[in-house]
């Protein structure tokens, strides 16, 4: 038996996915998603349920009018009225859903099995007479009497159904049972059988793969696995499992997966979990030094596939777990080259921020690197240390110890605050080689989302020459000292 022969994908993001609490897509938003699904190569797009409202019908009409390659489908109950509304929208097919568990038949529909049988065959025949492709679906099939389900499916085939669907409506299947069910259904039914899973127990992807292995011809899924309660089967996971773990070519353009995931997340307002496989924010993000060291040698050491396959990029996050390899790779991405001593200093500062429970963004690293590179340039003035005394009842006082052209100088001064005091102390210490004036002082948080690092920017002048410099540290006073010392060295060179 050939695994996954002629497998097709039905995406129900626009129907089951939109049933996620709080989600309501406009006509234009539905069209944007439908275009992207079509571009990806999805075989069938369940565009909505035409019976829902006039707005829903307008959205479905807009999608069918687009002339997409994908088959466009509308969800229908086993009622002719639903089919009529679907016909108004000019869809290619209907997903005709009949309750098949006694719980759903008796409690929800308030009918009996025979009524469901008669309603189903009547509506299938009606839809076929009007030229529609019919996928006949058993709702809550995993809690239904299997013999009744099979006999209902056969009635559906006899009435003209083109495809059948087994719905695990509340996620009750396990892979072993799924495989047994679909082995039997695929061998006994003369039309393709689909699998539609929900993720209440976290098994929707596993059950979908098990069904496809056992002969299912189609899988129903949503982008990012969105849907009611715990959601539906995640399309991106099933596609990439088939492609990479079973070496089956699905026909889906995987490089469009991440863009589609982002689009759906943005339009629905449902964030993707940061640790979600393949499309989550951390899926191709690395911090630990040992991992990044391996990546530098061969990316496959800690990545099962290249991020470019999904239209993504690799990210290196710097924090307290960062090592030299992490920093080297991140600096390389920024186009910066450093020597060993500069690298050690940058790493020390990165870990200092990491110890505050923060991560270093690209802009953080750029500022840190620029600051360190300025420090390591040929400098006439070098800081040895400084001390600040400040409090409610104490005038802020700073003492500084620096070297000027190799000679140690110690000075102290007072100021309106600790920063003012230390800057005055530095200016006094270098007065022997020039009168330095502080023209501007500005402190700001680094853009990029971290509040652990501050950037101090200063403008200093001497004899009509003005320079700008900056310092970046977790401590505002240290950052100010660095900025001033860097600027002085620029003025003196």
Residues 340 and 396 in one domain: no
**Does the pLDDT value for residue 260 go beyond 90?**
yes
Show Cβ contacts of residue 118 under 8 Å, excluding neighbours closer than 6 positions.
Answer: none
Could you report the per-residue pLDDT of 381-437, keeping only the tens digit for each? 888 999 999 877 788 999 999 998 888 999 999 988 888 999 999 999 988 888 888
Residue 277 located in a structural domain: no
* Between residues 323 and 16, the one the model is more confident about: 16
pLDDT bracket for residue 493 (50, 70, 90): low
Could you report the per-residue pLDDT of 358-367, keeping only the tens digit for each? 667 665 777 7
Measured CA angle at 13 (ends 304, 96), to 5 deg: 125
Residue 278 located in a structural domain: no
- Both tokens of residue 92? 């290619």
Q: Which of 125-129, 155-159, 225-229, 296-300 has the lowest mean pLDDT?
A: 296-300
| Among candidate residues 355, 374, 393, the one where a domain is terminated | 374
| Among candidate residues 242, 268, 294, the one where a domain is terminated | 268
Residues 26 and 155 in one domain: yes
Residues 264 and 209 in one domain: yes
pLDDT value of residue 4: 80
Residue 23 located in a structural domain: yes
Residues 227 and 306 in one domain: no
Residues 339 and 422 in one domain: no
Residues 105 and 253 in one domain: yes
Show Cβ contacts of residue 380 under 8 Å, excluding neighbours closer than 6 positions.
Answer: 404, 405, 433, 489, 492, 493
| Residue span of the structural domain in which 424 resides | 376-492
Residue 460 located in a structural domain: yes
**Does the pLDDT value for residue 294 go beyond 70?**
no
pLDDT value of residue 361: 64
Residues 27 and 172 in one domain: yes
Residues 225 and 353 in one domain: no
Q: Give the mean pLDDT of 115-140.
A: 98
**Does the pLDDT value for residue 33 go beyond 90?**
yes
Residue 274 located in a structural domain: no
Overall pTM > 0.75: no
pLDDT value of residue 447: 44
* Between residues 2 and 175, the one the model is more confident about: 175
**Does the pLDDT value for residue 207 go beyond 60?**
yes
- Alpha-carbon distance of 80 to 338, in angstroms, equals 72
**Does the pLDDT value for residue 293 go beyond 60?**
no
**CATH code: domain of residue 225:** 3.20.20.70
- Average pLDDT of the chain is 89
Residue 20 located in a structural domain: yes
Q: Which of 224-238, 243-257, 285-299 has the lowest mean pLDDT?
A: 285-299
Q: Give the mean pLDDT of 314-340.
A: 77
pLDDT bracket for residue 48 (50, 70, 90): very high
Q: Give the mean pLDDT of 204-213.
A: 98
Residues 140 and 256 in one domain: yes
| Among candidate residues 343, 374, 405, the one where a domain is terminated | 374
* Between residues 366 and 235, the one the model is more confident about: 235
Could you report the per-residue pLDDT of 195-206, keeping only the tens digit for each? 999 999 999 999
**CATH code: domain of residue 385:** 3.30.160.270
The count of domains in the chain is 3
pLDDT bracket for residue 190 (50, 70, 90): very high
* Between residues 274 and 360, the one the model is more confident about: 274
Residues 242 and 160 in one domain: yes
pLDDT value of residue 113: 97
Residue 1 located in a structural domain: no
Residues 93 and 202 in one domain: yes
Residues 114 and 145 in one domain: yes
- Alpha-carbon distance of 493 to 488, in angstroms, equals 9
Task: Give me the phi and psi of 71, to 5 degrees please.
Answer: -70, 130
Residue 3 located in a structural domain: no
- Alpha-carbon distance of 448 to 444, in angstroms, equals 12
């Amino acid at each position: 038996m050939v695994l996954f022969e002629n497998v097709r994908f039905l995406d129900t993001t626009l129907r089951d996915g939109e049933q996620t609490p709080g989600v309501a897509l406009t006509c234009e938003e539905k069209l944007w998603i439908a275009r992207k699904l079509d571009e990806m190569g999805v075989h069938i797009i369940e565009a909505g349920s035409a019976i829902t409202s006039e707005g829903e019908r307008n959205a479905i009409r807009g999608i069918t009018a687009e002339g997409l390659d994908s088959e466009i489908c509308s969800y229908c109950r086993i009622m002719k009225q639903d089919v009529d509304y679907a016909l108004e929208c000019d869809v290619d097919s209907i997903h005709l859903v009949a309750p098949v568990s006694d719980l759903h038949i008796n409690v929800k529909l308030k009918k009996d099995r025979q009524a469901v049988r008669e309603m189903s065959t009547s509506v299938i025949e009606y839809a076929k007479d009007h030229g529609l492709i019919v996928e006949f679906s058993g709702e809550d099939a995993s809690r239904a009497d299997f013999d009744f389900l099979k006999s209902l499916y056969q009635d559906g085939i006899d009435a003209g159904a083109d495809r059948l669907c087994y719905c695990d409506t509340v996620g009750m299947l396990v892979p072993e049972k799924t495989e047994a069910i679909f082995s039997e259904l695929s061998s006994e039914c003369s039309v393709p059988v689909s699998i539609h899973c929900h993720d209440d127990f976290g098994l929707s992807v596993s059950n979908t793969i098990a069904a496809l292995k056992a002969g299912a011809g189609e899988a129903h899924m949503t982008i990012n696995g969105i849907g009611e309660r715990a959601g539906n089967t995640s399309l991106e996971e099933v596609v990439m499992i088939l492609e990479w773990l079973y070496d089956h070519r699905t026909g889906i353009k995987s490089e469009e997966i991440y863009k589609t995931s982002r689009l759906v997340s943005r339009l629905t307002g449902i964030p993707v979990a940061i640790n979600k496989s393949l499309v989550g924010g951390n899926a191709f993000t690395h911090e630990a030094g040992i991992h990044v060291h391996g990546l530098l040698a061969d990316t496959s050491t800690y990545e099962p596939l290249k991020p470019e396959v999904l239209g993504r990029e690799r990210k290196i996050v710097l924090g307290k777990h960062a090592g030299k390899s992490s920093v080297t790779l991140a600096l390389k991405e920024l186009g910066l080259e450093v020597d060993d001593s500069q690298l050690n200093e940058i790493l020390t500062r990165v870990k200092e921020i990491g110890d505050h429970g923060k991560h270093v963004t690209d802009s953080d690293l750029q500022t840190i690197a620029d600051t360190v590179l300025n420090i390591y340039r040929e400098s006439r003035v070098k800081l040895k240390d400084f001390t600040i005394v400040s409090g409610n009842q104490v005038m802020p006082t700073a003492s500084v110890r620096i070297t000027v052209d190799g000679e140690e100088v110690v000075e102290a001064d007072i100021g309106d605050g600790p920063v003012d005091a230390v800057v005055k102390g530095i200016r006094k210490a270098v007065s022997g080689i020039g009168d330095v004036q502080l023209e501007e002082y500005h402190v700001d948080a680094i853009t990029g989302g971290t509040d652990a690092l501050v950037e101090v920017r200063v403008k200093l002048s001497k004899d009509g020459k003005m320079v700008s410099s900056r310092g970046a540290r977790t401590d505002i006073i240290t950052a100010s000292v660095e900025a001033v010392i860097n600027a002085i060295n620029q003025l003196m060179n």
